[in-house]
Structure 1
Amino acid sequence: MLRCLLMICCLTFPACRATAGVIAPVSPAGPTEVWVDGVWREAGDGSRARPFTSLHEVLARGLGGGTPVRVRLAPGRYAGPFVLPAEVELVGAGEGSVLYGAGTEPVSRAPEGVRLKDLVIEGGTWGLEAAGAVRLDAVRFRGQSQGGVRMESGQLTVEGGGLEAEGTGAVGVLLGAGARAEVREATFTGSFRRGVEARNAEAELESVRFRGPQTALYQEAGRVRLRHVSVEGGREVGLFVQRGTLRLEDVTVTGHEYGLQSMKATLEGWGFTSVRALRSGVALVGSQAELEDTVVLGSGSFGGVSLVASETVLRGLRVDGAEEYGVMATRGRLRLERAVLTRLTTRDGESGDGLHLRDTQVEVEGLVVRQASGVGVLAAQGAQVVLREASLESCQEAGVWAETLGQVTAVGLEVRGSRGPALVAMVDGVLRVDALTARDNAAGLVMADCEGSTGVTLGRVTGQGREMGPRLACVASASP
């Protein structure tokens, strides 16, 4: 019996000792929390029960050494300027927690990065001048004389919040060479000179709204991506890019002088919409662009889409209510697929063309032009144009017009309802049309001056015949 008890003890107590020796895992420690309350009137130690009375008092204690510190700001106004170390996170109580400054200094500087959350930065020349890694969560900037955020380098991340301009001339976010930025769910409100200015930087803006900046995006070199972005209320260029790469995904610009303007840039993407631009919805100079599902609703004297010396591919283009031109292209190359151009008007009675093409090479497949006060397709000054499956309806002056060495080759062309002829060739213009359907054109099938190298070649004509006008020596039938 005793031996059995000894055996039980030997088996039991080691087991108990082993259980007692197990060390519970320790969770990683979070940042040290310090509390600040500007209305507190007693000496504090930074605890929640006895907060410090100013943010300067916290920063003067030399926070750092690699230890993260979260500073919680009670509602109140805290006078700057502040220099914020990288390991500090400032967390406010929303609109009630305000960092403010005046005079010729920024409200806050963060030379090595910082994290700010749920607070307002007010006044000063800049709200925040920073480098390194900067994160802003639900932070609002207002009333700065020069701008909200200035990033000379490093990574800027913005989630929510917004920037408000009280005057003119300020910039919402300025990104210097080499800086990177991700901005999501933010708003830019008021008459900023530029909402975002990116100079040889990289930026991605998603679900961002601009309401009032004269130019929402001013990009010089670098790469920028806009996704689910809306712009309205400004008077200058909505989006401008020069010598950089801009990608657009579901972007709408309402008003502005130009919806989108580029110079020597590269553009790509889908779903760009310009509404009521004062001059042109899209204006590209010396650029390369491949855009899909572009829409221009109303535009001014520079037409819906204006292309100068550019290499452009447009798929799924719709222009409605443009003045002067649906698409104007000078020099360069254009490939146009699935385009619908409607209600094209003119102020001087001399244009209102669907496609106005000069000294350029153009391929068009799947074109519809309706209600143009000028010509459906005009090719001039050596333009070389290929049309496949085009329908031109109620184009007042003519369906297709070639002049001054312009050449048009069309296969599968329909022209109806013109107050002039279906086809015009003048001043060494050349037309080659096969599978033509022409109906109800008031001045007949063809008008031509038959001088120089002017010529028209027709094959497989249906509907309106040559009996509507005199027989012309420079109009011939294609060989079977």
Structure 2
Amino acid sequence: MLRCLLMILCLTFPACRAPDGVIAPVPPAGLAEVWVDAARGGAGDGSRARPFASLSELLARGPGGGAPVRVHLAPGRYPGSFLLPAGWELVGAGAVLHGAGTEPVIRAPEGVRLKDLVIEGGTWGLDASGAVRLEAVRLRGQGLGAVRMESGRLTVEGGGLEAAGTGAVGVFLGAGSRAELRGTTFTGAYRRGVEARNAEAELESVRFRGPQTALYQEAGRVRLRHVSVEGGREVGLFVQRGTLRLEDVTVTGHEFGLQSMKATLEGWGFTSVRAVRAGVALVGSQVELEDTVVLGSGAFGGVSLVASETVLRGLRVDGAEEYGLMVTRGRLRLERAVLTRLTTRDGESGDGLHLRDAQVEVEGLVVREAAGVGVLAAQGSQVVLREASLESCREAGVWAETLGRVTAVGVEVRGSRGPALVAMADGVLRVDALTARDNAAGLVMADCEGATGVTLGRVTGQGRETGPALACVASASP
């Protein structure tokens, strides 16, 4: 009886409110739904029973009075260039939107949602702004690129992009745009898989198979997480003046695995495999990377740093040509590094660490089977070396020349075909707690000219008596 009275009062007095604790349900504002079937002939009204025969016919009628519409596309081929109103959704299962000529297949200047579709042909597959979402969408065979976002926010879940030839871009992101790509595959010889210009992007579980450059970034911020890259000929990942964060990223092949110019790099778990020139080449950059691996590299060495401020923790280089790690100018802090099987073509290189005009601090270094020197400091480099094992370095364990200065504590040099230590051309070595064994040319080689000098403390194993006395070689004061 009480419930009936409440209902009568509320009907009689419109201002009556529901009792406390009871919230009147508000029905969701759903999208208008329209059906299209390219295989159907004759006139239709867009209902499930009588769908329109083409997407162009639907767009010409302009249903919904300007409100967003969800369009269900039946399997089939839908030719044309389509301009979609704001907030529309296209959902298909096997539907192919095909474009020809000089227009994009789809233009969506105010956002769009696409699901379970194939977009083929056209200059661009999708040219859009606003809020754009792609779910299980495949784009293939575009002349200029698959997706172009001059502004707005792009979300891509699954699906794939397939290049028809060379020269196209997979995803282009203009200034101020944002993008999230997850579980997407890029296939074929795209010139650039993702090109981001002063944009923000996050790629997770994305695979690149064939793009010449997987990521080309100018300014902005990009994060790569669980990403693999292979099959291209140019730089795998390139960033200039932007911030790039790497988390579990592998680049196989390519000219360089990772290259930067005046950029900021951070993260962990970057791996380069069989780079043609260098696994990592960074110029004028701010860098902090952990657990970096380079397996096989060409004439520019494993890792090349020029005028950069760098922290590397947990570096492994195996099978590099010319150098394991080369630093020219700048500063480096290196912790826990293992450099093995370093080769040379001309017999003048093959060093583990090759340092020129650099400020370097190293702790926990292993160099094994180097065709040149374990650690070479030249051209005014200032090097602090702690806890290093240098084994089978053909020319020498540690070499200082041309005003290079090395201060080392806790160093083992074993199995060199030359001496353990070399100081030439005003190079200075100060080594404490040195273990030297089985080095073919003895403990120290020095030219003893100018400022050249070697100071030794606590030497174990191979003593100075193995060679003639050198005036510039002295024992450290007790």
**What's 1:459 paired with?**
457
Amino acid at match of 2:56: H
Report % sequence identity. 86
Deviation at 1:68, TM superposition (A): 2.6
Deviation at 1:63, TM superposition (A): 3.9
CA 1:47–1:430 in 2, change beyond 3 Å: closer, same or farther? same
Q: Is the 8 A contact 1:63 1:85 kept in 2?
A: no
SS of alignment partner, residue 58 of structure 1 = helix
**What's 2:384 paired with?**
386
Deviation at 1:423, TM superposition (A): 0.1
Q: Is the 8 A contact 1:64 1:87 kept in 2?
A: no
CA distance in 1 between counterparts of 2:435 and 2:280 reads 32
**Equivalences for residues 71-470 of structure 1 within 5 A:** 71-93=71-93, 96-470=94-468
**Pair 1:30-2:30 in alignment:** yes
Amino acid at match of 2:84: L
CA distance in 1 between counterparts of 2:25 and 2:407 reads 79
1:7-38: CA deviation from partner (whole Å, max 9, x where unpaired): xxxxx5x6556579899846324211100000
Q: Is the 8 A contact 2:32 2:64 kept in 1?
A: no
CA distance in 1 between counterparts of 2:40 and 2:328 reads 69
SS of alignment partner, residue 331 of structure 1 = strand
CA 1:414–1:64 in 2, change beyond 3 Å: closer, same or farther? farther
1:249-270: CA deviation from partner (whole Å, max 9, x where unpaired): 0000000000000001110000
CA distance in 2 between counterparts of 1:56 and 1:102 reads 15
1:115-139: CA deviation from partner (whole Å, max 9, x where unpaired): 1000010000000111111111111
Q: Is the 8 A contact 2:66 2:85 kept in 1?
A: no
Amino acid at match of 1:134: V
Deviation at 1:443, TM superposition (A): 0.5
1:179-214: CA deviation from partner (whole Å, max 9, x where unpaired): 111111000000000000001111111110000000
**What's 2:15 paired with?**
none
**Pair 1:47-2:47 in alignment:** yes
**What's 1:58 paired with?**
58
Deviation at 1:62, TM superposition (A): 2.1
Amino acid at match of 2:388: A
1:332-358: CA deviation from partner (whole Å, max 9, x where unpaired): 111100000001011111111000000
CA distance in 2 between counterparts of 1:198 and 1:419 reads 50
- Please list every run of 5 or more consecutive structure 2 residues that lacks an aligned counterpart in the other structure: 12-17
CA distance in 2 between counterparts of 1:267 and 1:339 reads 19
CA 1:144–1:470 in 2, change beyond 3 Å: closer, same or farther? same
**What's 2:14 paired with?**
none
Amino acid at match of 1:76: G
The number of aligned residues is: 466
1:280-299: CA deviation from partner (whole Å, max 9, x where unpaired): 00000111100000000000
Scaled by the length of structure 1, the TM-score of the pair is 0.95
CA distance in 2 between counterparts of 1:128 and 1:277 reads 33
Give the RMSD, CA atoms, in angstroms: 1.4
Deviation at 1:59, TM superposition (A): 1.2
Q: Is the 8 A contact 1:191 1:214 kept in 2?
A: yes
CA distance in 2 between counterparts of 1:433 and 1:55 reads 78
Deviation at 1:64, TM superposition (A): 5.2
Q: Is the 8 A contact 1:66 1:87 kept in 2?
A: no
**What's 1:4 paired with?**
none
Q: Is the 8 A contact 1:64 1:85 kept in 2?
A: no
- Please list every run of 5 or more consecutive structure 1 residues that lacks an aligned counterpart in the other structure: 1-11
Amino acid at match of 1:149: V
Amino acid at match of 1:445: L
CA 1:15–1:161 in 2, change beyond 3 Å: closer, same or farther? closer
CA 1:31–1:416 in 2, change beyond 3 Å: closer, same or farther? same
Q: Is the 8 A contact 2:375 2:397 kept in 1?
A: yes
SS of alignment partner, residue 60 of structure 1 = helix
CA distance in 2 between counterparts of 1:264 and 1:29 reads 49
CA distance in 2 between counterparts of 1:24 and 1:199 reads 48
Q: Is the 8 A contact 1:261 1:283 kept in 2?
A: yes
CA 1:125–1:449 in 2, change beyond 3 Å: closer, same or farther? same
SS of alignment partner, residue 411 of structure 1 = strand
CA distance in 2 between counterparts of 1:65 and 1:311 reads 58
CA distance in 2 between counterparts of 1:42 and 1:117 reads 27
CA distance in 1 between counterparts of 2:253 and 2:118 reads 30
CA distance in 1 between counterparts of 2:66 and 2:79 reads 26
